[in-house]
Amino acid sequence: MFVDEARITVMGGDGGNGCVSFRREKFVPRGGPDGGDGGDGGSIVLVADPEINTLLPFRYRNLFRADRGRHGEGSQRTGRSGEDLEVHVPVGTLVTDANSDTLLADLSHPNDRVPIARGGRGGRGNARFASSTNRAPTRHDPGGEGEQHLLRLELKLLADVGLVGFPNAGKSTFLSCVSAARPKIADYPFTTLAPSLGVAKVDDVRTLVIADIPGLIEGAHEGSGLGDRFLRHIERCRVILHLVDPTAHGRSFAQAVDTINRELALYSPTLAEKPQVLVLTKKDALQDAGVLREAQREARKRHRPLYVVSAVTGDGLAPLLRAAADVVAGLVPPIVREEPRP
């Protein structure tokens, strides 16, 4: 099961209390205060783990509490500090405060680490308050409380190329042919119910990470079909491959492209401006040469490259991958991290 949203509660450990103690030993007059400090509480640290690709574990555990600090003891012994608790999340996870809707962290690189709930400080023991005028203090500090947050985790897949198009445009078939990914493939709409990632080998040096999202239809931004909730997974893709099925009835090439682009623009203007390569799929089933001529004409009008491919025969796949890799290589900088709001 692919899960791309979750809510969790994180609690830093409380600090240990300071100790009130006096040294009492035979033959040691005026031993004085010797109460130790309490230990600091542990913090919650979020870690971007490249081996995790879903937020599913947080469906079964949504409360994370770090270890508390131990109390101080006599003989000026400081309490042991609580251990930090590491919470591993997928790379590409956005962390937002669920109450204020403030972006706290963007874990967009492998092994990124962000302290998200700091532990409380340990309290001071009475030995800290001894002075020339107060030689027997009984004052001590309680440990501070650890931070507590309700967080919303949102996963955005990191990929070089994103596949968009109507249902049954051939996106899953394309991904299965160019990579080792095995998305579900069938002859009915909305076969893909969750995003899929695959790694395609372009040549001896270059590879492409490709993201396939469920098909879009007109009105997706209003919730039609599967809606636009999966479009976040191509927001960080650097190139969009727009796949069009030439065998679809009642919809021209221009109508198909315009409809999907309109949904992209309504979701995010930035998404609509990404470099886009038009792909006419199912070349092996294309019988009307007029459809191909129309597609070529529309591609020239939009100043976008057009590639005609067949996932069944493999025809046109290699040039398409090389073209996508060339576009990716020409884009700088790579992926821009979303900065937390102050």
Domains of the chain: 5-155 (2.70.210.12), 161-329 (3.40.50.300)
Q: Report how far apart, in Å, the C-alpha atoms of 20 and of each of 72, 121, 269 are.
A: 9, 17, 62
249-269 b/e (C-beta count within 10 Å ≥ 16 → b): eeeebeebbebbbbbbebbee
What span, in angstroms and rounded, lies between the C-alpha atoms of 286 and 221?
Answer: 31
**pLDDT reported for residue 79:** 94
269: three-class secondary structure by DSSP: helix
**pLDDT reported for residue 42:** 95
**Would you say 24 and 34 are in contact if contact means Cβ atoms under 8 Å apart?**
no
| pTM > 0.85: yes or no | no
State residue 64 phi and psi, 5-degree precision.
Answer: -125, 120
What span, in angstroms and rounded, lies between the C-alpha atoms of 236 and 224?
Answer: 23
Tens of pLDDT, residue by residue over 15-38, are 999 999 998 877 766 778 999 999
The residue assigned the tokens 């042991």 is 80
Query: How would you list the strands of the sheet with 207-212, edge to edge?
Result: 196-201, 207-212, 161-164, 239-244, 276-280, 306-308
Q: What is the largest CA-CA distance in the chain?
A: 108
Tens of pLDDT, residue by residue over 161-220, are 888 888 877 888 888 888 876 665 555 445 555 677 788 888 888 888 888 877 666 655
DSSP state, 170?
A: S
State residue 285 phi and psi, 5-degree precision.
Answer: -100, 0
The residue assigned the tokens 């405060």 is 97
**pLDDT reported for residue 188:** 44
The token duo for 235 is: 């927001």
Residues of the chain below pLDDT 50: 1, 188-189, 225, 333-337, 339, 341-342
